[in-house]
């Protein structure tokens, strides 16, 4: 399951126009992802100037694992790219203070540098 794909699904369902997620929460050991978001605006002053902020109201949208899998299947059929790594060949492996985000090569079977050699 890819959080970006969940966000793309959730955007089509959120009631707030211009809804953007800022929090992802995995529910029920992989049953789906609950996204919290709102309408973002750019801060004009202060120490976080230029960064986005989300004023209330916030809206939560739940995207089930089955929906994300269906979305990823369609993406792969359409683009021929691996949905697990978004066609980059690298997947996110965690975050460590001082080191930043870490990535590892995509372990999806048939994925060669992000392109699917064999499509299921
Ligand atoms: Zn891949």
21 CA from centroid of ligand 1 (Å): 24
Angle, CA of 87, 91 and 92, to the nearest 5°: 140
95's CB contacts (< 8 A; 6+ apart) are 101, 102
Per-residue tokens: 12: 């089509």
Q: Are 18 and 39 spatial neighbours (Cβ–Cβ below 8 Å)?
A: yes
CA of 116 to the centre of ligand 1 (A): 7
The per-residue pLDDT for range 28-46, each reduced to its tens digit, is: 888 999 999 999 999 999 9
Distance 19 CA to ligand 1 centre (A): 28
Q: What is the mean pLDDT of residues 20-34?
A: 90
pTM: 0.70
Q: How far is CA 107 from the centre of its chain?
A: 18
Domain boundaries, the chain: 1-79, 80-120
Tell me the CA–centroid distance for residue 91 and ligand 1, in Å: 7
Taking the centre of ligand 1 as the mean of its atom positions, its distance from the CA of residue 57, in whole angstroms, is 36
Question: Ligand 1 centroid to 104 CA: how many Å?
Answer: 10
Chain CA centroid to CA 105, Å: 18
CA of 9 to the centre of ligand 1 (A): 20
- Cα gap 92→12, rounded to integer Å: 25
Whether the Cβ atoms of residue 90 and residue 105 lie closer than 8 Å to each other = yes
Q: Is the pLDDT of residue 17 over 80?
A: yes
The 10s digit of each residue's pLDDT in 69-120 is 999 899 999 999 999 898 999 988 888 888 888 899 999 889 999 999 865 4
């Amino acid at each position: 399951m890819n959080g970006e794909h969940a966000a793309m699904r959730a955007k089509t369902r959120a009631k707030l126009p211009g809804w953007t997620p800022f929090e992802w929460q995995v529910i029920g050991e992989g049953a789906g992802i609950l996204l919290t978001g709102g309408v973002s605006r750019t801060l004009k002053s202060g120490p976080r100037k230029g960064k986005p902020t989300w004023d209330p109201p916030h809206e939560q949208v739940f995207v089930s694992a089955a929906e994300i899998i269906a979305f990823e299947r369609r993406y792969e059929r359409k683009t021929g790219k691996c949905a697990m790594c978004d066609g980059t060949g690298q997947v996110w492996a965690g975050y460590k203070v001082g080191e930043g985000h870490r990535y590892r090569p995509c372990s999806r079977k048939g994925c060669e540098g992000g392109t699917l050699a064999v499509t299921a």
